[in-house]
Structure 1
Amino acid sequence: MQKAKQTIKMPRSFETNKDAAEFFKLVVKAMQCKNVDLDEFILHITLVSQRYGDYADAIRTVKQEGQVIVQQGDKNQDRKIINPAVRIRDDAYKSIVQGLSELGLTYKSKSSIAAVDAQSLDAQMELVRLLNDVPDVGGTDDL
């Protein structure tokens, strides 16, 4: 017997964060395919989605400013440093992958899933596509 689909309210903070909201919807959809009680995972889903919002913002910043930026030194000299958004991007990505793994939504963690049906696999693939396809900010430079 299959459980009825649960309706989960999106956090209000995501009303102004389109990236986190989209990611939240996809994670909820993927979890619904696994027929789990979403109430048990809502906090974790929210936190992972927020990290995705941070990741998307950092990607845009790095695309606009570059991976290396020029900063004024203490003796008024220019010095090149790694853009702080690079670390935010990289840390957020690791956190997202770990969070999705804990939810059983990565390839590595799929062994913990007894049977992956086509609908569940499609939902997982949507998450992977979103991670690899952050909206462009108008530039054509690849990282």
Structure 2
Amino acid sequence: MPGCPFCEIAAGALPAHVVHADDVAVAFLDARPVFKGHVLVVPRTHVETLTDLPVEAVGPFFTRVRALARAVEDGLAAAGTFVAMNNKVSQSVPHLHAHIVPRNRKDGLRGFFWPRVKYEDDTEAATYAKRIRETLEATP
């Protein structure tokens, strides 16, 4: 996709610290990492969000994400990783990408990056669950 920096990195037209590249995905260091070793994994084919990724591509893409999470953890002697993905909101580049951030205890990162809320009661929670479940069941 012309003008997409992640497509340009995948094509080798923009420089990046690439840690993996194959026909499915390209992974490279985030230029503005949460912690050093923060990797972005992008599908080689331009899609903007997870729901745009063809069903047959989901497994292969997440196989790469899984392998890279292990590589970040083992290669950096991290206690774990934080794996995240934004879709549209807070997505700084409109090309699907998974963040893999190395984590260690007491590293300063606290929970999620957004405030938490509570449901008013179980009835409200059940209503939200029902709306999502019914939508999922109606989606082919």
TM-score, normalized by length of structure 2? 0.31
Bigger Rg, which one: 1
More strand by share: 2
Q: Which has the higher contact order (CA 8 A, sep 6+)?
A: 1
